[in-house]
Amino acid sequence: MAYAIPEPYGWNESFRMFYASIDDEHKGLFKSVFDVAADPSSAHALSHCYDVMDIHFSHEEAILQRANYTDILYNEHKKAHDNFMNRLGGLKSPVSADAVAYLKNWLVRHIKTIDFKYRGFVNC
């Protein structure tokens, strides 16, 4: 299934998780990818994107662990984060158009598939 990529790139209501802290972090993730797309040659934008993703994923994984999210779903979720961070960590500025498209697509798809699975199932 294809997911619409918002243009201009940014968070919108279709991504709402109904957890204020998670939604705020997701807004920051979109902004960080927007900033990489706006200036692919900026090493600062790329490292900021890496940092906010890293912080968010750690937060999300801690929430899932506290909630006793099933091992299978937790492992699937963590693996998705780890794979993405490997790819993101391997990028160098200037970031290619293909890599920018990957970042944009991955975040949209991840929230709407993997993150949405825990929507309503955890307290945070």
Chain positions contacting Fe ion, by CB under 5 A: 60, 115
Phi then psi dihedrals of residue 63, to 5 deg: -65, -45
Smallest distance from Fe ion to CB 94, Å: 27
Please check if 7 is assigned to a binding site.
no
**What gap in Å lies between CA 15 and CA 23, rounded to an integer?**
8
User: Was 54 annotated as part of a binding site?
Assistant: no
Amino acid residing at 105: N
CB of 80 to Fe ion, least distance (A): 7
Question: Shortest distance, CB of residue 2 to Fe ion, whole angstroms?
Answer: 20
Residue nearest to Fe ion (CB): 115
| Annotated binding-site residue? 81 | yes
Residue 56 marked as a ligand binder = yes
d(CA 80, CA 86): 10
Separation CA 63–CA 58 (nearest Å): 9
Q: How far apart are CA 90 and CA 84, in angstroms?
A: 10
For Fe ion, give the closer residue by CB, 41 or 65. 65
Taking the complex as a whole, how short is the minimal distance between the CB of residue 36 and Fe ion, in angstroms? 18
Q: Which residues are annotated as a binding site for Fe cation?
A: 26, 56, 60, 77, 81, 110, 115
